[in-house]
Amino acid sequence: MQSIQSWQIKSPGNNPVLGLGYLLSSLHLLLRPGIKRFVLIPLLINILIFMAALAAGWHYFGSFMDSMLDFSGLWEWVQSLLNMIRPLLWILFFSAYLIFVFYTFSILANIIAAPFNSLLAEATEAYLRGTPVEESTSMLQLLKDIIPMIWQELVKLWYFVIRALPLLILFLIPLTTAIAPVLWFLFSAWMMSLQYMDYPMGNHQLKFKQQRELQTRQRWFSLGFGSAVLIGTMIPVINFMIMPAAVVGATRIWVEKFEAK
């Protein structure tokens, strides 16, 4: 296992706008020779999972909004205040609901697709560095590492759960309901960056804790990239391409912004 001290950021810059651009500018790479054959399985998994997410979201949306915007039982002045900003709260809660549904299903999709995403990251890095991909070696390594990959996904899931629960409680406290969706968006964007940077970093034997330490050095850049991925998951049709595009974008970040000392 490589030490985190073995890597450094070679192109300094903590601009979230630059992070946003990495996702869109990576879409064209999905069809490049040496990469496109690794895109199909993650793409199919993402389509199936997001169709399930849309179905679940539509089914439970009404009851969620009713419960979140029910201000009965509060002091009269609090009810009046919250009713005045009800349209804004509706938008905030609707956005938070979409983020929660799509991110939850995204976790499931990434657990299932983790081995294939790792291969996609490997193929993308080889393409960007101009080196060949040995398919036989990759498949052998895939079979060897499948259990560690799934374990890594469960580690990320635990990291998400123990931080998500306190944030979700903020939605239930009247005085924090307005800020809760904003905090949830930022946290989800951070998780998206951690999720997809794991594939190229994991291919270099960096553990989840080490990955977090590296990304913390350019937190705003990572939040920009994660925000682009998160927003993309909520755009119809484009959301089907988000998983492979995010893997490719994360690999570009790894190749272009990090280097061994």
Decide: 253 and 63 in contact? Cβ < 8 Å: no
- pLDDT digit string (tens) for 115-152? 888 889 999 999 998 887 665 445 566 666 677 777 88
Which contacts of 5-10 are long-range, i.e. CB under 8 A and separated by 24 or more positions?
5/261, 6/260, 6/261, 7/204, 7/206, 7/214, 7/258, 7/259, 7/260, 7/261, 8/258, 8/259, 8/261, 9/214, 9/217, 9/218, 9/257, 9/258, 10/257, 10/258, 10/259
- pLDDT digit string (tens) for 2-46? 555 566 666 656 788 888 888 888 888 888 888 888 888 788 887
Q: Which residues contact 95 (CB under 8 A, 6 or more apart)?
A: 181, 185
Q: Pick 50 or 248 by higher pLDDT.
A: 248
Nearest-angstrom CA–CA distance, 52 and 102: 10
Residue 9, SS3?
A: strand
Q: Which residues contact 116 (CB under 8 A, 6 or more apart)?
A: 38, 41, 42, 45
Strands (E), the chain: 7-9, 258-260
Residue that the structure tokens 């909520």 belong to:
234
Strands (E), 59-124: none
Q: Which amino acid is at 132?
A: P
* Average pLDDT in the chain: 78
Domain ranges for the chain: 19-57+91-260
